[in-house]
Chains A and B, each alone.
Chain A
Amino acid sequence: MPAYLDHAATTPLCEPARRAALAWSGERFGNPSGPHSVAAAARAALDDAREVVSTVLGTAPGDVVFTSGGTESDNLAVLGRALAAPGAVVVSAVEHHAVLRAAQAAGRWAGCPVRTVGTDADGRVDLAQLADALDRSVSIVSVQLVNNEVGTLQPFAEVARLVRRRAPQAVLHTDAVQAAPWYDLAEMAQGADLVTISAHKFGGPQGAGVLAFARPVELAPLSFGGPQERGRRAGTQDVAGAAGLGAALSWLRRDREAESERVTALRDRLALGLLAALEGVRLTAGDVPRAPGHCHLVVEGVDSEELLFLLDSYGVCASAGSACASGALEASHVLTAMGTPPALARGALRLSLGHSSTDADVDMALEAVPRAVSRLREAVAPGALPVRKVLR
């Protein structure tokens, strides 16, 4: 069994979510929009899930839109708003690509000016820059709760206050995908008009997400067809996905605080252990509030692609950032925004823990990471070999 330390990418299904999704992937079925009893049962399962979400997020059940995941929810919020009420789009530089590229699309297809707000060295939104970006022409602002790569918590309450004061007409969206496994979203996302969550980051199935509305906001739909989800998202709903999402959210709520503490302790043991074992290693965003599961490091003198390869062969599943279409690692836009020097950013390593993480996983990583790093540092440096010299 490998030590799975990539929970920020996806988490294993929790048992209640597995059972709920399985029930609607086998013996039970039905189109929730249909006029008969089979359909009604599916409708009831969907409504049950919707109610769980609305309770957790503190919205009305009718203001929960089921989507295919975090990306679609982010797209719908940012591009949907920009199309419905063209105006400036304000995003932080460290948003997920689902927000950043939706903002670019709003610029390209709707002519909306896009204003990108920088961060400090720990990845926190620069509030002075944000204030400058806000005015009466802003249509939508999107700032995450927790950064997906480095785990930094954004000062969201202050962001919300600034938006209300300087751009009261603007819609405030937050991508709460990485916060959902750990925090009380009703409290943390207070002030947001639109909230994105994604099931597979907290023990639910992949392909299921939500865009929740804290108040009525007009969005241009991005899909067209039937009147599902009150016309905001056409297409037959994924009942199994929604049921799994709802079940995972209920399961999560039961002992979220104890679980956060448990995982924080594991993560701290891992981070401190690695700092003690290795020279030339720095915790990214080490001094600011971070989500419990994230342990993000930059390792001097190694290349992430090589480090991840060796870790995988030693039985540790980790990641470094996002991948491009071919599957190759890309330079992290988050580290770039934080001002991490490119030479250091090359050695990024994200170990992310979650509900299935154990002490044994941490032990494996504490053994494997130093072993892999030492091995790579001992290896020959590029350019030291004869081939290159001849052709220079």
Chain B
Amino acid sequence: MRALVAMSGGVDSSVAAALLLAGGHEVVGATMKLWGGPSDSGCCSVADVEDARRVCQQLGIAHHVFNFTAEFEEEVVAPYVEAHAAGMTPNPCISCNAHLKFDRFWLRARHLGFDAIATGHHARVTATSEPGPPLAGRAGSPPAGPAGAHGDCPGQGPAGPGTGRVVWRLRRGQDLGKDQSYVLYMLGQAQLAELLLPVGEMTKDEVRRRAATLGLRTAAKPDSQDVCFISRTGGRQSFLGDRIPVRGGRLLSAAGADLGEAPDLELLTVGQRRGLGPAAYRSEHKGTPERRYVVGVDLRARTATLGTLEQLLVGSVRVGPVSWAAGALPAGARAHVQTSAHGRAFPARWEPAPEGGGGRLVFEERIRKVAAGQAVVMYRLELEGDVVLGGATALP
């Protein structure tokens, strides 16, 4: 099989390429150049491209650089800035996955005749054979039996000699501490059928050990933590401040009392409790001060409302259109719902909006309010919430 590996210059994608090569596949590495501006943290600095290229040279495979800076600006950066201007908390890594990695990059791999793409994400793709008509997949791929890119991959083939349809499932990575299935929720059958996640079966330590054994220069490279287009030195404040007006406002108590000056409202997030100044510790009532959180931001009124943890808790979240991995969840069905990249999942009931498009998740216990713009990902209740059902963006 011919696989195009998306290589960020980090250890996970380096090892992903090495594993596929060891598995006898024809492997080509490619690094996306996404951000044209200054960067010191993310995945598209020249140093990272050089790391990816050097790893490919060490492995003896070709390496290419794809310039997607214009698409990145249009599909990721501009919507990120707009979302902040609208008082939301966007997740640019998710829009990058949806528009760049699993759209532009994937399409390019198809154009260039690759059978599959691979990334270094910690998640797993498996196939199951289920009764029913075939789901969307690569045109011309057989509806039953080994289909898509996984047919000849041990451990990823369809479970048993089924006679029904093949359904591709996105599952959490072996290393639950590093699991990245949350940021991959947008993958449908077509993408899953052509996606290889070679490090999903490994722990991060195993990945690093493997890289070290192979002598790859990325073996000890620290994980990237930050948004790639926001520099560590300037931060979000300087990035957003250059593009939209970023201003302070007033802090209000839940009862509406003025608690003082608010920091830049466009940078505040629901659920935040740091960086709010002394007002955050001022109690409305006499007694011991209680920790305060942002429970709401109103850009029109230029206010942020603070509240206690109790006031932050909600029973449900409204979401926009859902990207289902393999068909919609029936109304009233239950799922495990995760609302942040490394947070825990909570059981909830799915209530689709009558007019369609989105819906509401009603939790069985109250959870911290989800900031608008964040991803809400549903996992199957069974099997300890291992399988991604789909996901959507939280609405205000």
Which A residues have a C-beta under 8 Å from some C-beta of B? 303, 305-306, 309-310, 313, 323-331, 375-376, 379-380, 382-383, 385-388, 390-391
Shortest CB-to-CB span from B69 to chain A, Å, is 8
Also in contact, A391 and B98, with CB within 8 A (given A306-B108, A306-B111, A309-B112)? yes
Question: Which residues of chain B are within 8 angstroms of A375 by Cβ–Cβ distance?
Answer: 111, 113
Evaluate contact between B186 and A390: CB separation under 8 angstroms.
Answer: yes
Q: A326-B65, A388-B99 are in contact. List 20 more A-B contacts (CB 8 A).
A: A305-B64, A305-B108, A310-B113, A326-B31, A327-B65, A328-B66, A328-B69, A375-B113, A376-B111, A379-B111, A382-B103, A385-B103, A386-B188, A387-B99, A387-B103, A387-B191, A388-B98, A390-B321, A391-B186, A391-B393
Question: Which residues of chain A are within 8 angstroms of B54 by Cβ–Cβ distance?
Answer: none
Closest to B28 in A: A309
Query: What are 8 of the A-B contact pairs (CB < 8 Å)?
Result: A305-B67, A309-B64, A326-B49, A387-B188, A388-B103, A390-B98, A391-B186, A391-B393
Shortest CB-to-CB span from B345 to chain A, Å, is 21
Closest to A376 in B: B111
Which B residues have a C-beta under 8 Å from some C-beta of A? 31, 33, 44, 46, 49, 53, 64-67, 69-70, 94-95, 98-99, 102-104, 107-108, 110-113, 136, 186-188, 190-191, 321-323, 393
User: Which 8 A-B pairs give the minimum distances between C-beta atoms?
Assistant: A328-B67, A328-B33, A326-B49, A390-B323, A327-B65, A328-B65, A379-B111, A391-B98
Question: Which residues of chain B are within 8 angstroms of A391 by Cβ–Cβ distance?
Answer: 94-95, 98-99, 186, 323, 393
Q: How far apart sit A379 and B111, CA to CA, in the bound complex (Å)?
A: 6
Question: Which residues of chain A are within 8 angstroms of B31 by Cβ–Cβ distance?
Answer: 326
Closest to B112 in A: A309
Q: How far apart sit A1 and B64, CA to CA, in the bound complex (Å)?
A: 21
Evaluate contact between A324 and B107: CB separation under 8 angstroms.
Answer: no
Evaluate contact between B64 and A385: CB separation under 8 angstroms.
Answer: no
Evaluate contact between A387 and B98: CB separation under 8 angstroms.
Answer: yes
Question: Which residues of chain A are within 8 angstroms of B107 by Cβ–Cβ distance?
Answer: 379-380, 382, 385
Question: Which residues of chain A are within 8 angstroms of B98 by Cβ–Cβ distance?
Answer: 387-388, 390-391
Q: How far apart sit A385 and B323, CA to CA, in the bound complex (Å)?
A: 12
Closest to A346 in B: B70
Shortest CB-to-CB span from A201 to chain B, Å, is 24
Question: Which residues of chain B are within 8 angstroms of A326 by Cβ–Cβ distance?
Answer: 31, 33, 44, 46, 49, 65
Closest to B50 in A: A326
Closest to A305 in B: B66
Shortest CB-to-CB span from B57 to chain A, Å, is 13
Also in contact, A327 and B190, with CB within 8 A (given A376-B111, A380-B110)? no
Q: How far apart sit A45 and B379, CA to CA, in the bound complex (Å)?
A: 75
Shortest CB-to-CB span from A109 to chain B, Å, is 20
Evaluate contact between B323 and A387: CB separation under 8 angstroms.
Answer: yes
Q: How far apart sit A390 and B187, CA to CA, in the bound complex (Å)?
A: 11
Q: How far apart sit A387 and B323, CA to CA, in the bound complex (Å)?
A: 8
